């Protein structure tokens, strides 16, 4: 070997190391290309996703679903405070920000049945969900959708909503469809149990409006983890306020209330 020239020969062990490193690099490139291709395939037929805006679409979808959840929870609270009603019934007492319905009024009985309450929940969802979505704003995106059509279900321990609302989300000449009916929302709720206790109180008055088995009401409420309070309503002659409440289905106390007016 000439002086000043480095020996560039490699040992067999060094050659083996280089081969292993080459295999690792090639494998890494292959994994990256496979992952990239898989992420593209996740788009399916969504044209907005294919042009690289999938994260934005997910944010918009989550915002719309959050509107659905917030509106559903608000519906349950409002229908409780207003004794099963969203729209004012024939007999009620106005308290400015809400109203309290009469279940018994001078000899007449006006408690809503469960299917009526479900209809009132749906009406609330239909009107207020649209308002929530209308307030959503995202740069370069527009929403096109009809009036919501929802179905509500009051079952033991639960209230659920299924909303038929196809939302066409557009950006430029591209669009994608979001369908809310594919994602029903379900809430823990004592509305069903509150209606049971209210029904018992109302039917007892129908049999004898001068008698009410307080111990029976207390027992029913205890079995359902509820509390019942009855009191003279201020400034309303011969009128009793019935409040059915609980604090185990949400972070805030749930209240269901109605009035009974006696002759």
Residue 205 has pLDDT above 80, yes or no: no
Share of the chain above pLDDT 70, in %: 77
- pLDDT number for residue 39: 46
Tell how far CA 148 is from the center of its chain: 14
CB 154 within 8 A of CB 140: no
Q: Give the mean model confidence (pLDDT) for residues 176-205.
A: 91
Per residue in 19-47, pLDDT (tens digit) is 555 554 555 545 444 444 544 445 555 55
Q: Which residue has the higher pLDDT, 258 or 58?
A: 258
pTM equals: 0.78
Q: How far is CA 58 from CA 61, 77, 207, in A?
A: 5, 29, 56
Domain ranges of the chain: 47-261
Per residue in 74-129, pLDDT (tens digit) is 999 999 999 999 999 999 999 989 999 999 988 889 999 999 999 999 999 999 99
Distance CA 63, CA 167 (A): 13
The residue among 253, 262, 254 whose CA lies nearest residue 192 is: 254
What is the sign of the dihedral through the CA atoms of 32, 38, 41 and 46? negative
Residue 220 has pLDDT above 50, yes or no: yes
- pLDDT number for residue 57: 80
CB 155 within 8 A of CB 121: no
- Average pLDDT value for the chain: 83
The residue among 91, 130, 123 whose CA lies nearest residue 107 is: 91
Distance CA 261, CA 263 (A): 7
Give 139's pLDDT tier (boundaries 50, 70, 90): confident
- The pair of three-digit structure tokens given for residue 201, joined into one six-digit string: 């109180």
Residue 200 has pLDDT above 80, yes or no: yes
């Amino acid at each position: 070997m000439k002086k000043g020239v480095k020996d560039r020969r490699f040992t067999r062990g060094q050659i083996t190391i280089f081969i292993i490193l080459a295999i690792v690099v090639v494998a890494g490139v292959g994994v990256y290309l496979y992952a990239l291709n898989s992420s593209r395939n996740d788009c399916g037929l969504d044209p907005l996703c294919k042009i690289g805006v999938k994260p934005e679409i997910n944010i918009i979808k989550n915002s719309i679903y959050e509107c659905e959840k917030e509106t559903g929870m608000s519906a349950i609270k409002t229908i409780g405070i207003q004794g099963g009603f969203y729209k004012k019934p024939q007999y009620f007492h106005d308290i400015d920000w809400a109203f309290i319905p009469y279940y018994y009024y001078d000899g007449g009985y006006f408690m809503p049945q469960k299917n009526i309450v479900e209809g009132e929940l749906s009406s609330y969802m239909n009107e207020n969900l649209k308002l929530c979505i209308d307030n959503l704003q995202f740069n370069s995106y527009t929403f096109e959708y009809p009036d919501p059509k929802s179905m509500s279900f009051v079952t033991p321990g639960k209230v659920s909503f299924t909303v038929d609302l196809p939302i066409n989300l557009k950006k430029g000449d591209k669009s994608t469809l979001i369908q809310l009916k594919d994602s029903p929302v379900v809430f823990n709720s004592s509305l069903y149990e509150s209606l049971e206790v209210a029904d018992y109180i109302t039917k007892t008055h129908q049999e004898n409006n001068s008698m009410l088995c307080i111990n029976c009401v207390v027992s029913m409420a205890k079995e359902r983890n509820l509390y019942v309070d009855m009191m003279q309503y201020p400034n309303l002659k011969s009128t009793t306020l019935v409040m059915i409440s609980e604090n185990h289905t949400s972070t805030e106390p749930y209240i269901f209330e109605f009035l009974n007016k006696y002759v």
